[in-house]
Amino acid sequence: MDVRSWMSPDPQTATPRTTIAEARRRMHTYGVRHLPIVDRDKLVGIVSDRDVRSQTGLARDDDDEPVATVMSTPTWTVREDADMAEAARTMLSRRVSCLPVVDADGLLVGLVTTTDCLLAMLERIAEPAG
């Protein structure tokens, strides 16, 4: 049960120069909670909805600032050919709810979340013994 089978492929991304307001708008528009941050095809960070959320529902004081100011870096990743259990262990040990998925060349190919891990484990449990 590899990560490739459970990840969301071709995720929405942003660059380090994308504003916090634009990142929040993209997340809302595409219904996602995480945006990998890429610079010249290289993964350099990740932002979550918490990173860009306004506490009051109004504009943030730093909405015009780049996401580079709030992104998490370094970014923990998982290879697309890794087992889902490895992804789950990494998320637990690093206390993150999402991992960018990279190919053998280190290029971003998807995202895997804790929900994906739970669904994969439920499927594994439901498989008949044999």
Task: Name the nearest CA neighbour of 38 among 111, 125, 118.
Answer: 111
Spatial CA neighbour of 36 closest among 53, 17, 19, 11: 11
With contact defined as beta carbons under 8 Å apart, do 80 and 7 qualify? yes
More confident position, 57 or 24 = 24
CA 24 from centre of chain: 14
Q: Provide the pLDDT for residue 103.
A: 93
Residue 58: what pLDDT? Answer: 62
Split at pLDDT 50, 70, 90, the class of 56 is low
As a whole number of angstroms, the distance between CA 102 and CA 85 comes to: 16
- What's the pLDDT score for residue 22? 95
- The pLDDT tens digits for 85-124 are 999 999 999 999 999 999 999 899 999 999 999 999 888 8
Q: Does the pLDDT at position 49 exceed 80? A: yes
Structure tokens at 72: 């998490």
Q: Which domains does the chain have, with CATH numbers?
A: 3-126 (3.10.580.10)
Q: What's the whole-model pTM score? A: 0.87
Which letter, b or e, does each residue of 35-48 get, where b requires 16 or more Cβ atoms within 10 Å of its Cβ? bbbbeeeebbbbbb
